[in-house]
Amino acid sequence: MDLLLSPVDTEIINVVDTCHPLGEQGASREERLSQGDTVDQGETQNLGGRKPVAGIQWMDGVTYGTVFDLLYFVNLISNGQTESLAHLARETGVLLNKADLVPKEGRYRINSDVFLFPWKPTFRNPWRGHVPKGTFGRVHLAQDTETGKRMACKLIPLKDFRSSEVEIQARLRHTNVAQLYGAVLWNGTVHLFMEAAEGGSVQEKLDTWGPMRETEIIWITKQILGALDYLHCRRVIHHDIKPSNIVLMSSKAVLVDFGLSVQMSGDIFYPKDFRGTEMYMSPEVVVCRGHNTKADIYSLGATIIHMQTGYPPWVRRYPRPAYPSYLYIIHKQAPPLEDIADDCSPAMRSFLQLALERHPGQRGTAKRLLRDKALHPLREQHPRCWSLDSVLGEGSRHPGQQRSQLCDTLKGTDHYNQLCDSVPRLLPVHHEDMRMMRI
C-alpha cells in the first residue's frame, strides 16, 4: 500500500516497464546476508585490518563484492588523484546487490544497463521545481534494465566525494535506513545506488500538501525513532535529521543521507565544524563544545514542528531576510516551543517538550520516546490513528472498499466526517484512478 505518497506521474516509468517488465522478486535481505554480501551487526564496530576479497581487479570495471570491498573502493577513489580518476576508460565500482543489479562483462553502463531519470518529472510538485538533493549530490530515480529493479541514484562529483558518504551507510542494516546497493565511478561522477523511495521526501509532501495531520506525523515519527534507536545503540550520530532526509516508501519511512554521520569512539563527539541544518540544530551543536546522539533527538523534535505547521522552527517568528543566521537565536532561545502547532494534542506537546529539552542529559532517548503515549494513542482518543493502522494491515484491498469499510466502522462517531475526508489522502492512487483523474 502506498501510504502518505504524493501523486506520482507514472508516464516515464510506464515506458520503461513496457520495455523492461518487472520479473520475480530478487533474493531477500536475509538471503543476501547469508551469501556474504553484507556484514552483520557484530562486524559494524571495527573495519580496521580488513582486506578486500582476493581476485577483485580494482579500477578495472564493475564487479560484485562485499561491504569491505566497497569500503576499500570508496577510500581508494576518495584518496586518489581526482584528475586521473576522472578520465577512466570505463566504469569502475563495486555492487553489493547480486539479485537486482546486473553488470555485463564488467560494465554497468549508465543509460544502457541502468536508466537514470531526473526526479523532477517523476514527482509532480505544483509549487516548486524540486529535485531531491543530499549533502553533496543530486538524486535520480534509477532502474536496472535486466531486472527492472528501481533504485535511487545519488550523483556526487568526484571532487566533492567523501568516503564518509558511504562508510557508515554501507554497514547499516535496518528496515528504516536506506539500504546501499553499490557505488560506481564514471565520467568524474560517483553514482551511489540505494533503496528507492518513490513516494518522495517528507519535505516534498509538505511543499505539495502543506501541514500534516497528527496521525501521519505519529506514523513517520515511530519509523524514524526506530532507525535512530538502531543508530544510537551503535554510537552513530546522523547529524542531519530534517524533512528532506526522511523519504516515504510503499509501507515505511526511511532515513537517508549519511554524508555528515559519524560513529563516536567515546561518549562525546567533538566536531571541527558545524554539522547539520541550522533550523534543526540543537543548542549543544551550535556551540561546538561536544555533543552526542541526543542531538538527533532534538533535530527530530524540530522536524515534527515542521510537519505540524509546514514551516521549520524559528522562521515564522524570525523571517530569513531580517535574520540571515539562526545560530545565535538557537543558542539564546532554544527550545522553540512557541512554534508548536496550536492544534497539537496535549500528549504530542509533552512528547515535543521532552525531545526538545535544552539540556541533552534531560532529553529523551529514542528508545524512551518510542514508548511515549503520544505515539500510542487509545482508539477512542484518536480513532483516525487506529483506522490508519487498520489500513496498513489491509493494503491488498481496493481503495474504494477500504474507504467504505473504514467509514462504516466509525459511523456515528464525532470523527466520522473528518475520517472520510482524510482517508483518500492517505490511500494509494492506483494507475486506473489517476487516468480517470486526468480525464
Write down the pLDDT at residue 232. Answer: 98
Question: Does pTM top 0.75 for this prediction?
Answer: no
Closest CA to 190 of 22, 73, 65: 73
Number of alpha carbons in the 13 Å side-chain half-sphere of residue 432: 3
Write down the pLDDT at residue 95. Answer: 95
Query: From CA 118, how far away is CA 359, in angstroms rounded?
Result: 42
Query: Scanning the structure block, which residue is given the C-alpha cell 515564522?
Result: 316
370 touches 229 (CB < 8 A): yes
Write down the pLDDT at residue 59. Answer: 63
Domains of the chain: 11-195 (3.30.200.20), 202-375 (1.10.510.10), 383-438 (no CATH)
Query: From CA 417, how far away is CA 386, in angstroms rounded?
Result: 15
Query: From CA 60, how far away is CA 112, in angstroms rounded?
Result: 19
Per annotation, catalytic residue among 240, 257, 339, 372: 240
Residue 414: which H helix or E strand, with range?
none
Query: Scanning the structure block, which residue is given the C-alpha cell 505515539?
Result: 375
Q: Does 414 participate in catalysis according to the annotation?
A: no
Query: From CA 256, how far away is CA 195, in angstroms rounded?
Result: 9
Number of alpha carbons in the 13 Å side-chain half-sphere of residue 439: 6
Return the SS3 of 82. Answer: helix
One digit per residue, the tens of pLDDT, for the chain of length 439 reads 333 443 344 444 444 444 444 433 334 443 433 333 333 434 434 444 445 554 455 567 999 999 999 999 998 888 866 666 767 778 899 999 899 999 998 899 888 888 888 765 344 443 343 444 544 458 888 999 999 999 989 999 988 888 888 989 999 999 999 999 999 998 889 999 999 877 889 999 999 999 999 999 999 999 999 999 999 999 999 999 999 999 998 789 999 989 899 999 999 999 988 889 999 999 999 999 999 999 999 999 999 999 999 999 999 999 988 888 899 999 999 899 999 999 999 999 999 999 999 999 999 999 999 999 999 987 656 544 444 443 344 333 344 444 444 444 445 544 445 444 544 444 444 444 433 333 3
List the beta bridge partners of residue 236: 263
327 touches 350 (CB < 8 A): no
Q: Which residues, other chains included, contact 115 with Cβ-Cβ below 8 Å and sequence gap of 6+?
A: 16, 142, 143, 145
CA distances for 332 relative to 43, 280, 282, 305, 364, angstroms: 42, 15, 11, 19, 21
